[in-house]
């Protein structure tokens, strides 16, 4: 028979971060980007870019922003869509939570949905295209202390036959791990081919 400590450890394991990534191959806007010659992936990768210098984003900055989110993507992959959600079912299929408020509960989840574009892509000798992205996630509390961190929460390399225009991804933060209050969730998106980075900070409120 499991002890209560073993049962709790098993439950917490269920709440490990999920990231699901799918190339935008065959989607209407991806086809449009290819047909119109949009320069979304063809970059010179011979000289890696230096990591971006991001402006610090505080909880007060997030509270004063209309979307409760600050995106810094001018020097790295574009982040045209980032939404804090009540639930996520798939690509562009989610229920937004505009107040970013969640209850702390055993099965509570604060979902994060994003779409990432304009990352670098290499043409392989066989004509296929390869790209590599990763993301690091840090959760800061009101005292600017790290309360949760997941380095390389997403980490993958992929080869595809057609040039993709982006990826979509989602993750959730288990609210059982956080006390009541406001949190600053920081996501750093890494283009591992040219070294460029983008960052998203968003507010999370646990009630």
For 34, phi then psi, to 5°, come to -70, -45
The CA distance from 126 to 6, in Å, is 50
pTM of the predicted protein model: 0.76
Residue 154: Cβ-neighbour burial (10 angstroms; 0-12, 13-18, 19+): buried
Tell me the three state secondary structure of residue 59: helix
Using one digit for the tens of pLDDT, what is the confidence trace for 82-108? 999 999 999 999 999 999 999 999 999
The CA distance from 163 to 30, in Å, is 9
Strands of 161-206 (E only): list them: 166-174, 181-191, 197-206
**What burial letters (b/e) apply to 25-60, b meaning 16+ CB within 10 Å?**
eebeebeebbeeeeebbebeeeeebeebebeebebe
Q: How many CB atoms lie within 10 A of CB 182?
A: 18
Q: How confident is the model at residue 62 (pLDDT cuts 50, 70, 90)?
A: very high
Using the predicted structure, report yes or no on whether residue 187 has a pLDDT greater than 90: yes
Residue 86: Cβ-neighbour burial (10 angstroms; 0-12, 13-18, 19+): middle
Name 159's Cβ contacts closer than 8 Å, sequence gap at least 6. 124, 128, 129, 130
CB distance 52 to 196 below 8 Å: yes
The CA distance from 180 to 207, in Å, is 5
Using one digit for the tens of pLDDT, what is the confidence trace for 2-57? 444 444 444 343 333 444 444 443 332 332 222 222 223 333 333 444 556 899 99
The CA distance from 77 to 119, in Å, is 5
Query: What integer pLDDT is reported at residue 52 of this predicted model?
Result: 64
The CA distance from 104 to 167, in Å, is 30
Domains belonging to the chain, first-starting first, are: 4-206 (2.60.40.10)
How do 197-206 and 101-102 pair as beta strands? parallel
Using one digit for the tens of pLDDT, what is the confidence trace for 120-179? 999 999 999 999 999 999 999 999 999 998 888 777 789 999 998 999 988 888 899 999
Query: What integer pLDDT is reported at residue 7 of this predicted model?
Result: 41
What is the greatest pairwise CA distance in the chain? 63
């Amino acid at each position: 028979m499991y002890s209560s400590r073993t049962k709790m450890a098993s439950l917490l394991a269920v709440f490990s971060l999920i990231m699901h990534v799918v190339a935008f191959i065959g989607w209407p806007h991806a086809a449009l980007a290819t047909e119109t010659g949009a320069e979304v992936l063809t970059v010179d990768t011979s000289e890696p870019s230096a990591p971006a210098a991001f402006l610090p984003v505080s909880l007060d900055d997030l509270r004063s922003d209309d979307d409760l989110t600050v995106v810094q993507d001018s020097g790295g992959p574009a982040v045209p869509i980032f939404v804090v959600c009540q639930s996520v079912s798939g690509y562009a299929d989610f229920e937004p939570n505009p107040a970013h408020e969640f209850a702390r509960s055993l099965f509570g989840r604060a979902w994060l949905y994003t779409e990432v574009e304009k990352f670098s892509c290499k043409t392989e000798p066989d004509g296929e295209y390869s790209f590599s992205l990763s993301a690091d996630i840090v959760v800061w509390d009101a005292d600017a202390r790290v309360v949760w961190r997941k380095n390389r929460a997403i980490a993958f390399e992929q080869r595809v036959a057609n040039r993709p225009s982006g990826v979509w991804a989602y993750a959730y933060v288990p609210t059982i791990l956080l006390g009541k209050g406001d949190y600053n969730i920081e996501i750093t998106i890494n283009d591992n081919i040219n070294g460029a980075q983008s960052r998203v900070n968003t507010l999370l409120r646990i009630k």
